[in-house]
Amino acid sequence: MNTNSILKRLALFLVGALIIPTFAAADIKMGIILGFTGPIESLTPDMGNSAELAFKEVSDSGQLLGGQKVKVVRADSTCIDAAAATAAAERLITSDKVVGIMGADCSGVTTAIANNVAIPNGVTMVSPSATSPALTTIADNGYFFRTAPSDARQGQVLAQITMERGFNDVAVTFINNDYGKGLSDSFINAYKGLGGKVSAVVPHEADKADFSAEVAALNASGASILAVFGYVDQGGNHIIQGSIDSGAFDKFILADGMFGESLLKNIDGDLSGTFGTVPGTDSKGAASFAKMATSAGIKGGGPFTGESYDAAALLMLAMQSGGSTDRAALASNVLAVANTPGEKIMPGELGKALRILANGGAVDYVGATNVELTGVGEAAGSYKEFEVKGKAFSTVRFR
């Protein structure tokens, strides 16, 4: 072969090399499943956006698994329809092939998704708001976590606050599902243990047209205050409105499912003196996240927004710690990045955490809610005590 032939072949090779297409690594799909419709639909937009804030922070850092990006796929849990929630999660896992799931939200649908879809398929779920005590003992094979504390503790805290405020006789209504029943039982047991009297316990449904019978039964108890363990956009709000309209009650005890601006906006009447609890902390991380959220157009002090950011952050840090998008590796690293030892990581520092993990270091994710997970993968948690003054929620203190 002469010199000219060799040069021509080399030239053709170089041209071919230049036009060979290069393919970027596919985006990593992460699921968000929340009740974007249903009884807490006024709360979930900020929850979903808070989670996406963490996913975007990770993508923008360029540090995830050598520079990969996150693509978020959303699904609707409905909060109350277990069959619909299961079907939506099935699509996320089998069709969209998400690596992990931020969610679900309400306890019943979270349990259904975990048992029917996520655990059998080895997909990690980190719920920001499923609080039923029953989830503590779910047979999750290490795939279920939650950044929200169990209602076993919320019931105790709320009972103590109620007694401290001088209410020795209460009536209780609860949404007739895992969340409502678990919280109601926890509160009633703790309240009676402190010497309180529970004069009536009446369950309610989320989607009835008329709650007059429930209100009448609660009113007949003679109690001076009503504990409403329900949902802010369906059921619980109508119980409160019916109580005010009939003169049955004018003050209420609320928990996390009833904490939302839509309650104050939509109730016709004065709720002043109403009080309750919602997971929350006055930590440095909470303040930092509130600023980030506000800048992103999210109500930073809203219920479960910090928990949602933290849930998404834990998923991504666990993935980086495992060094791959392998679902099992992700699950096995959640506790390691959530707890000591390691460098403490605050909101806005996810890129820093990813670099530390990539270099073989350890992190202790603190986040917006002072994350520290127990051995079963749930937050021990702290609570904000609030009171309604006029048309606003006022923070009393943190416990």
Q: Find the CATH number of the domain harbouring 210.
A: 3.40.50.2300
> Angle formed by the axes of helices 305-322 and 44-61, to 10°?
30
Residue 4 belongs to a domain: no
Based on the domain organization, do 195 and 101 belong to the same domain?
Answer: no
What distance in Å separates the CA atoms of residue 293 and residue 272, rounded to the nearest whole number? 28
Contact 319, 336 (CB under 8 A): no
- Judgement on whether residues 231 and 295 belong to the same structural domain of the protein: no
- Among the residue ranges 59-63, 253-257, 380-384, the one predicted with the least confidence is 380-384
Q: Is residue 349 assigned to a domain?
A: yes
The mean pLDDT value of the chain amounts to 94
Which of the four pLDDT bands, split at 50, 70 and 90, describes residue 8? very low
Residues 253 and 393 in one domain: yes
Prediction pTM value: 0.92
Same domain membership, residue 353 and residue 219: no
CB within 8 A of 353, min separation 6: which ones? 317, 320, 337, 343, 345, 363, 365
The residue with tokens 């209460």 is 170
Mean pLDDT of 233-244: 97
Is residue 111 assigned to a domain? yes
What's the rounded mean pLDDT across residues 25-45? 95
Assigned domain for 58 exists: yes
- Residue 135: which of 151, 158, 121 has the closest Cα? 151
Domain contains 222? yes
* pLDDT 10s digits, 259-277: 999 999 999 999 999 999 9
- Whether residue 318 lies inside any domain: the answer is yes
**Residues 160 and 116 both lie in one domain:** no
For the chain, percent of residues with pLDDT exceeding 90? 90
Residue 29 host element (H or E): strand 28-34
- Bond prior to 331 in cis (omega within 30° of 0): no
Compute the Cα dihedral for 219, 224, 227, 232 and give only its sign: positive
12 lies in a domain?
no
Give yes or no: residues 348 and 257 share one domain: no
Say whether both 268 and 203 belong to one domain.
Answer: yes
Residue 279 has pLDDT above 90, yes or no: yes
Number of domains comprising the chain: 2
Same domain, 178 and 110: no
Domain membership flag for residue 18: no
Burial class (CB in 10 A: 0-12, 13-18, 19+), 162: buried
* pLDDT of res. 299: 84
Question: Letter for the amino acid at 11?
Answer: A
Per-residue pLDDT at 249 = 98
- In this structure, the answer to whether residues 228 and 82 fall within a common structural domain is no
What is the Cα–Cα distance from 108 to 153, expressed in whole angstroms? 18
The band of 24, judged by pLDDT with boundaries at 50, 70 and 90, is: low
Are 263 and 313 members of one domain? no
Angle ∠(45,353,285) on CA atoms, nearest 5: 55
pLDDT at residue number 25: 67
Residue 18 reports pLDDT greater than 60: no
Say if residue 251 is in the same domain as residue 390.
yes
| Per-residue pLDDT tens over the stretch 56-113 | 999 999 999 999 999 999 999 999 999 999 999 999 999 999 999 999 999 999 999 9
Share of the chain above pLDDT 70, in %: 94
pLDDT at 23: 42
52-56, 57-61, 379-383 — which is least confidently predicted? 379-383
245 & 134 share domain? no
Range of the domain at 226: 152-279+382-398
